[in-house]
Each structure stands twice: as C-alpha cells, then as structure tokens.
Amino acid sequence: MGAESIGLVTGRDQMMKRYVDAGKPFYLSTLKYWSTATFSMRVVNAGNGVAFAVLSRNQRVSAFDYAINSPKADGFGGTTILASYTDTNLTKPRQTNGSDEMVIEGLSLSVRDVRARFAEADIPANLDPEVLAAFRGLRPFMDVGALFRPPQLDSPFRLEDALGRLIRPRVSCTFVWDGQNNEKVGLASHCPDLPAASYLTAAGEPTEKNIYNLPEGWIWNKPGSERDTELHLDLVSEQTAIFTINGVQFPGAANGVYTYPQELAVDLHVQLNGFALGYDSAN
C-alpha cells in the first residue's frame, strides 16, 4: 500500500473549521496589530565634525508587551513614556483585543523614527516646551536640512535608510508565547517595510502584499484559552554595529564648533499581518 500524502493544515484552516463547526455567527477582521520597540545607540568619540553611533550586541527589546496608555521604554537609559495609539493598538499587554483570536500570517517592520538626545548644555535656549522635548529625544523630530541633526538621519540626499540597512540584518525576531515558549521567526531584514514607506528608502517594495510570509499561520488565542494567549515579540541585536554620523554646526555657532547627540533611539514599528475572528458581544 502506498504512503498517504499529508497536506499542510494551516492556522487559517484550523481556525475557520473551529468557528464554522461551532455553528454560531462570528466576525472576521483584517485589522492589523502593531507595536513599536526601541533600540538605543550611544554616540562616542565625537570630535572634528565626526562621531560614531554604536548599537551594542545583545540588546533585547520587545514589541506587543505594552498597551495603549501604559509605560513603554523611551530608549534612553531605562526611562519610560506613555504609549499612544501610534505605538500600539493593544488594549492589554500581550493579549488580543476583546474576543479576537488572530491567525498571524506575516510580519512587516519599518524604522519609524530615529530620535536623538542632546546634552542639556547643547540645546538652544528659549525653546517651546515641545521643541525642547524633541531635543531631549522625547518627540519625533524631522530635520531634512540637517540644521540640528546629523544629515545621515533625515536628509533627503541619503536616498536610502542606511541606518535601517545596518541594523535590520543584525536583529533577530522571536515569538514568545505565554512567557516561556520561544520560536525564532527570522531576522528583521526578512520583514519588508510597511506600505507607507518611501520607495527610495524602503527595504523591499513597500506594499500590502510584500510581507514576510508565515503561510502556516500562528494562532494567537483569545484571553482565557488554555494556551498561546499571551504573545510578545523579542528583538535582539545579535551583533555590535557602528554607524558614522556628522557633527552639526548649529545656526549661529562659531565656525568649526560642532554639536553631536549623546544617544540615538531607533524606533522599529512591527506589524502582524493576517486576520482575526471572534464572536459578537451583546455590546
């Protein structure tokens, strides 16, 4: 008797069968789940108009381990900021929203922001409080003219996300289920940019279809299930990497006087692609 062929039963197959067999009305949503994790880079050996930003090996940061309006690491020495909807759409850390059960079928990842923290003595005087917070690295700050930030961060003349191209191949991605079961899923460089990215700087074609496919489907169960109800994504820098930056002559500074950030915080925005199912509530 010949061997029987065994077909791949995907997470999509399992979940659809579970809900159809239950015989109750259910919803299906293509809403994505997203979260942001932040790597720190210290700036060293600043002088003569040049400095080096260092991504240290074995930094471990996590996505999906915080919720909206909860504290998240700001990337500068262990302090935190309050997460907003732009950081994550989770309403509880590590859990799906409401009665959602998600089938994860792909990953996307982008360098969302590179925030720079300057020494207090180097920050211009009499700034608006929000602008002051940007110089402290606590607000997004775009400076295409490189008036205050190194041109490697924002200048349109760079034509590619050089910092992202350095970091992404050196960052591993691991799903952590229920705080104990670890499943490596690849490198950050395997995950294409989100659709909003520029074609000039994107790591791959930035479209909805160009994702890091996980066709087998990973099932993220709803709270109260027996297993796989809590998920976070660990991102680990597996190698040290060095990024050269220029010092900047602030407007009004004496010729030859350069200013450098003390630290960089690289915000990686991670998106889980797939779909969610659940039962409608009475509300």
Region for residue 6 given its phi and psi (left: phi exceeds 0; alpha: psi -120 to 50; beta: otherwise): beta
**Residue 1: inside a domain, yes or no?**
no
| Domain assignment of residue 229, given as a range | 11-278
Measured distance CA(264)–CA(60) in Å, rounded: 16
CA distances in angstroms from 204 to 160, 194, 199, 201, listed in the order given? 11, 10, 8, 9
Reported as a single tens digit per residue, the pLDDT across 245-280 is: 999 999 988 998 999 999 999 999 999 999 999 987
What is this structure's pTM? Answer: 0.90
**Model confidence over 212-246: pLDDT tens digits?**
889 899 999 999 999 999 999 999 999 999 999 99
In a domain, 121, yes or no: yes
Domain assignment present for 200: yes
Tell me if 103 is assigned to some domain. yes
Report if residue 6 sits inside a domain. no
How many separate domains does the chain show? 1
- Identify whether 3 is part of a domain: no
Residue 283: inside a domain: no
Q: What is the pLDDT of residues 101-154, one digit of tens each?
A: 999 999 999 899 999 999 999 999 999 999 999 999 999 999 999 999 999 999
d(CA 117, CA 126): 17
